[in-house]
Copies of this chain bind each other. A is one copy, B any other.
Amino acid sequence: MTTPLRPPRAADVQAALAAIRHQVVRTPLLESATLSERCGARLLVKAETLQHTGSYKFRGAANRLRLLDREARRRGIVAYSTGNFAQAVAAAAQALGVSAKIIVPHDTPAVKRDRTRALGAELLFYDRTVPGRREELAAEIARAEQRTIIPPGNDTDVLAGYGTVGAELLEQFPEPIGALVVPCGSGGLTAGITAVVAETRPATPLFAVEPVGFDDVTRSLAAGERLPNAPGATTICDALTALYPAELPFTVMRGRVRGLVASDEEVRTAMRLAFDHLHLVLEPGGAIALAAALHGRVPAGDGAIVAIASGANVDRTQFADILRGA
C-alpha cells in the first residue's frame, strides 16, 4: 500500500461528507417510545441500513474511489471484504465505470455474493481462518494487474467516508448524546465516527459493540495493544468476525472508545424489536449496537442513547426464522 497510514481527523470526515453528500442517502434517526422505555433512556437509531447497498460501507468506498486519478480508474481496483464492503465497492466502482475484483471469504452468505456480482464485480474467494491470506491475495493481484488496493478499513480516506455517518448524525441531533453505540468488527465504522465525534463533541461517550467470543477490539482497547480473538467461537454476526482490530482504526479508537459485547440471542431479540417498532430490516451484525442498548449493557450517560444500525444484508430465510423466534 502506498497511502500513508495517517489517522483521519474531523476535517477529513467533514470534507468527505461535503464531497459524497449528493451520492449517499441521508439516513434518518428513528425512535420508538416502546424501545426508549425498554432502555430507560431516550433511544435514537440511525438507520444506516437504508444506505446504498444496505450498509455504511458505501460511504467509505465512494469517498476512496472519488480520489482515484484517471489512470488508476482505467486500471481498476481490487478489494477484500467479509461481505458488505464488497457490495459497496462494487457499487461505487460501477458508478465510475471502474473494473472491480473483490476477494471474499469462502463462506460469505449467498445473498452477499449474488448482490456483489449483480453490481458487475468479479469475486475471488479466500479461507477466512488463515490470518493475512486475503491481504496477500490482494497484493498479488494488485502487482500483476496494476490495480489499486481499496482496503476495507486500514485507510485514511475509507475511514473518513465511514465517519460521515457520525458527521451526519451530529448535524441531525445537536442535543447531548449520553452514549453513542456502534457495531464493531475490525473497527472501521467506530474509528471513522470517533474521528469526528471525539474532536468536535469530546464529552460524548463512545462504545464499540462486538459479538461474545469476538471481543478483540474490547480487549485490545482495555489492554492498549492489538490482541486477536481466541479461536473457535461462532456467531450469527457474520460481518463482525475479523480476527484482529485493524491497525489504523485501533490508533483512532485507543483511549477514546470503550468496548462492549452482546450475545447472539440479544441480537435476535433486537432484530425482532427493530422490525416491530422501527420497521427496519437489520442483519445480525447491524443490530448489535441496538442489542446492547436494549439489554442494559450501555452505561447511563447524560443525554440520549444513539445506536447505529449499520447493515441490512440478511437472507430471507434467516430473517424469517428469526422473526418466528428460531
Residues of A within 8 A of B (CB): 25-28, 30, 33-34, 47, 49-50, 54, 91, 111, 118-119, 272, 275-276, 278-281, 312-313, 316-317, 319-321, 323-324
Contact = CB atoms under 8 A, between A and B. Distances in A.
A30 B194 CA distance: 27
Q: DSSP majority for the A interface?
A: helix
A280 B316 CA distance: 12
Contacts of A34: 118
A114 to B, nearest CB: 10
Contact of A320 (B111, B280, B320): B320
Given A28-B25, A33-B119, A316 B275 contact: yes
Nearest to A325: B316
B279 A319 contact: no
A28 B52 CA distance: 12
Given A34-B118, A50-B279, A281-B281, A272 B28 contact: no
Q: Which one of A26, A28, A91 has the highest number of Cβ atoms from chain B below 10 Å of its Cβ?
A: A28
Given A50-B50, A275-B281, A279-B281, 16 more contacts: A26-B28, A27-B28, A33-B91, A33-B119, A34-B118, A50-B280, A272-B316, A276-B316, A279-B280, A279-B312, A281-B281, A316-B324, A319-B320, A319-B323, A320-B320, A320-B321
A297 B154 CA distance: 47
A281 B272 CA distance: 12
12 contacts: A26-B28, A33-B119, A50-B50, A275-B281, A275-B316, A279-B280, A281-B281, A316-B323, A317-B324, A319-B320, A319-B323, A320-B321
Contacts of A33: 91, 119
